[in-house]
């Protein structure tokens, strides 16, 4: 069942989303050559707790940290640790926060230092695909209109869309119905309604869309070890423009 949220529920989700956005603003200042993914994790955890929220990933399905930190060919679910960021890396950070029983979820891929132009293009196209998908998240559209917008933009740019991991409904749980694939024909799936809340999250690969999981049972990497990027926002379907909950500024930031 897809749950349409009440105004009261949406106000809790706005609070959770704002904490996630503010945490990313903190992280963005710290993503630099030489910092370890574990240090970024601690920074995010301390910040979320200082805002009266709870790091939502920690303990979720047994995940051991506050952020997922996925470098280069890692797609999602990288575990933070001692590894230090190097010049030319790209790092996908995914994180969630919970307040009053409601969740926010977002992801950003950051370039570290001087990154190749092809890696920058992958990051740019993935972020654009997210915003094109969000633009289709409107009442009376069908769910797969979002999927189609994301897939067409990624593929016409020469990249591929991960199939094994998808976006999701979100609210009083981190993962609710429906699944939100980043691929598929338009005009399929449930009709979108005001008050539905979705985490839309394209994962876009430079080479093959196929992925595998490392022996730590968490980290997902591309099968061909080429780069992958990931952007995500939690959004509400309204009577008009979709409302992005995990963004401090209403407008898309220029990169
Ligand atoms: Mg996420
Ligand atoms: Mg998510």
Residues 171-191 have pLDDT tens digits of 999 999 999 999 999 999 999
The answer to whether 220 touches 79, Cβ cutoff 8 Å, is no
Provide the pLDDT for residue 129.
Answer: 98
**Neighbouring C-beta atoms of residue 198, cutoff 10 Å:** 27
210 CA from centroid of ligand 1 (Å): 20
pLDDT tens for residues 100-146?
A: 999 999 999 999 999 999 999 999 999 999 999 999 999 999 999 99
117 CA from centroid of ligand 1 (Å): 26
Segments making up each domain of the chain, as ranges: 7-244
- Name, in order, each residue with C-beta under 8 angstroms of 30's C-beta and a sequence gap of 6 or more: 39, 40, 43
68 CA from centroid of ligand 1 (Å): 8
The answer to whether 228 touches 124, Cβ cutoff 8 Å, is no
Provide the pLDDT for residue 250.
Answer: 52
106 CA from centroid of ligand 1 (Å): 5
β-pairing, 197-200 vs 167-169, is antiparallel
> Does the pLDDT at position 6 exceed 80?
yes
> Does the pLDDT at position 148 exceed 90?
yes
β-pairing, 220-222 vs 203-205, is unpaired
96 CA from centroid of ligand 1 (Å): 6
Provide the pLDDT for residue 252.
Answer: 55
The answer to whether 183 touches 147, Cβ cutoff 8 Å, is yes
CATH 3.90.230.10 fits 7-244, yes or no: yes
- 248 pLDDT band (50/70/90 cuts)? confident
What ligand has the least distance to the C-alpha of 93?
A: 1
Q: What is the DSSP letter of 172?
A: S
- Name, in order, each residue with C-beta under 8 angstroms of 201's C-beta and a sequence gap of 6 or more: 105, 107, 130, 166, 167, 180, 182, 230, 231, 232, 233
pLDDT tens for residues 11-59?
A: 999 999 999 999 999 999 999 999 999 999 999 999 999 999 999 999 9
> Does the pLDDT at position 255 exceed 80?
no
> Does the pLDDT at position 81 exceed 50?
yes
Provide the pLDDT for residue 2.
Answer: 94
> Does the pLDDT at position 159 exceed 60?
yes
203 CA from centroid of ligand 1 (Å): 11
């Amino acid at each position: 069942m897809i749950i349409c949220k009440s105004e009261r529920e949406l106000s809790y989700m706005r609070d959770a989303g704002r904490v996630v956005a503010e945490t990313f603003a903190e992280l963005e200042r710290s993503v630099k050559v030489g910092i370890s993914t574990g240090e970024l994790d601690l920074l995010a955890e301390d910040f979320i707790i200082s805002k009266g929220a709870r790091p939502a990933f920690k303990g979720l399905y047994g995940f051991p940290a506050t952020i997922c930190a996925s470098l280069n060919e890692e797609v999602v679910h990288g575990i933070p640790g001692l590894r230090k960021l190097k010049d030319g890396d790209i790092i996908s950070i995914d994180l969630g926060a919970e307040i009053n029983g409601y969740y926010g979820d977002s992801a950003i891929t950051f370039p570290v230092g001087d990154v190749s132009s092809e890696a920058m293009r992958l990051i740019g196209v993935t972020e654009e695909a997210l915003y094109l998908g969000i633009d289709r998240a409107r009442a009376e559209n069908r769910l797969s209109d979002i999927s189609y917008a994301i897939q067409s933009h990624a593929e016409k740019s020469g990249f591929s869309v991960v199939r094994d991991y998808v976006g999701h409904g979100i609210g009083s749980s981190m993962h609710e119905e429906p699944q939100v694939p980043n691929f598929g024909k338009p005009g399929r799936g449930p009709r979108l309604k005001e008050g539905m809340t979705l985490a839309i999250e394209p994962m876009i690969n430079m080479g093959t869309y196929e992925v595998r999981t490392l022996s730590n049972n968490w980290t997902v990497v591309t099968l061909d070890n080429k780069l992958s990027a990931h952007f995500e926002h939690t959004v509400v379907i309204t009577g008009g423009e979709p409302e992005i909950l995990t963004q401090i500024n209403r407008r898309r930031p220029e990169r």
